[in-house]
Structure 1
């Protein structure tokens, strides 16, 4: 049975937890975090929560539409990259608490989910080989200084207005730079752009 969880005031997000081995534990934590649990079909914008052993395996099959949160025992670099490409948020089972679950749900419900520093650090360091930036035949080879600066701020979860203030430029300029980044990296969204840049050693 699928449950729909509606967030308490201050966290206007609905969550649908798909049935799995540890879904009951996640549901209990969600209720203790102040989320109201009620059965029913998910409304538009609902965050789907998938509880699985491995992030990469969880994303290998058909995916639910809309925002996605993965709660997984094992989260490797390839799993993180795949999650970023599809705009999903990942939470390790080892880090699962009422607070971390509520925060991950809120993050997944954002139009452009940010990447927490531990995940970004893991992407930048795990499984890397010195001297190999991780490019492939179709991969980009470089970004301009401005593009790299904007991309790093995007990876930290900053929105266009924040980026414009940080770089002392207009929001229009930021939008243009993001458009250039998307085209250069052939990215579908902001998270995908960050994932591709990390994969190719550009940030």
Structure 2
């Protein structure tokens, strides 16, 4: 059986003992002790009250120390501030759970769901998060010529035309760029993403939903 490896960090020993007890009942989970070199699949952080800056500092330090992009974070707190949502996501949080709503089996089920790729965010925060992302796109990324997918808008435009069969000179004419600019856009994109051909760049953009 493949176990989901879990590491727990709590505000105090009593909270940690309670969380460990909740998770140890699941035969699909294996708890890792603090300080063990083995990296967990899911990192559970339990805080008292509202989430503070120190929690995000802990998560950022954890990311730096482990360097494991695949490690997912479950954050358990009394309540969450709407203004912290984007910061939490930036720190790798994929599940927000209220301490007051935890019941027997709830936490273990959440950890298993997160390990399989699920994201768990309270309904009341989902709409707020979408509004924040839209605001980020319109006020920060858009004016800088960027998209949410990490592509520049001109990279997206060039790749779109390549996917439609246009050549470099035709793309330059349509976008009112010089041919050199089109080539530089492609070179920068392919170098950043470590792609070798235009076809690979188009395929990458299609998988990312950019075009």
Length-normalised TM-score, structure 1: 0.51
**In the alignment, is the contact (CA less than 8 A) between 1:52 and 1:72 conserved in 2?**
yes
Partner of 1:88: 93
Distance 2:118 2:203 in 1: 17
Q: How far apart are 1:125 and its partner, in Å? A: 4.0
Q: How far apart are 1:27 and its partner, in Å? A: 0.9
For structure 2, list consecutive stretches of 5 or more residues without a partner in the other structure. 148-201
How do 1:61-80 residues align onto structure 2 when only pairs under 5 Å count?
Answer: 61=58, 62-64=60-62, 65=66, 66=68, 67=71, 68-80=73-85
Correspondence 1:176 to 2:181: no
Q: How far apart are 1:37 and its partner, in Å? A: 4.5
Distance 1:45 1:37 in 2: 9
**SS at the partner of 1:33?**
coil
Distance 1:177 1:56, change over 3 A: farther
Partner of 2:112: 106
**SS at the partner of 1:91?**
strand
| Aligned pairs, number | 139
**SS at the partner of 1:114?**
coil
Which one has a larger percent helix, Structure 1 or Structure 2? 2
Partner of 1:52: 47
Partner of 1:13: 4
Q: How far apart are 1:42 and its partner, in Å? A: 4.6
Distance 1:94 1:29 in 2: 14
Distance 1:101 1:139, change over 3 A: same
**In the alignment, is the contact (CA less than 8 A) between 2:26 and 2:108 conserved in 1?**
yes
**In the alignment, is the contact (CA less than 8 A) between 1:55 and 1:80 conserved in 2?**
no
Length-normalised TM-score, structure 2: 0.50
Q: How far apart are 1:36 and its partner, in Å? A: 4.8
**In the alignment, is the contact (CA less than 8 A) between 1:16 and 1:42 conserved in 2?**
no
Give the number of the structure with larger relative contact order, counting CA–CA contacts within 8 Å between residues 6 or more apart: 1
For structure 1, list consecutive stretches of 5 or more residues without a partner in the other structure. 1-8, 144-172, 185-203
**In the alignment, is the contact (CA less than 8 A) between 1:13 and 1:47 conserved in 2?**
yes
